[in-house]
Amino acid sequence: MKKSLMALGSLLMLGGVASAQKVAFEEFDLDNGMHVIMHQDKTAPVVITSVMYHVGA
C-alpha cells in the first residue's frame, strides 16, 4: 500500500511540473539603479507588490 501511495504521489508531483506555463514579464532598470521585473495579469482587479534586496557579503 505504501509503495502505491508513493508512486501516485510521485506522478502527481511530476504532472504539476509538466503543466507549468511560461509567464510573460517586462524587465528594466530605473535611473536610480533599481532593477524592476513587471508582470501584468488583468484577470482580476488586484495589485500585488514584492520587494527583494540583494545585500550582504
Q: How confident is the model at residue 22 (pLDDT cuts 50, 70, 90)?
A: confident
Provide CB contacts within 8 A for 39, sequence distance 6+. 23, 24, 25, 26
- For residue 29 the three cell numbers come to 532598470
pLDDT tens figures, 32-52: 988 999 999 899 999 999 988
CA angle 34, 30, 52 (to 5 degrees): 25
The predicted structure's pLDDT at residue 27: 96
Distance CA 57, CA 51 (A): 19
The predicted structure's pLDDT at residue 53: 86
Q: How confident is the model at residue 16 (pLDDT cuts 50, 70, 90)?
A: low
**Mean pLDDT computed over every residue of the chain:** 84
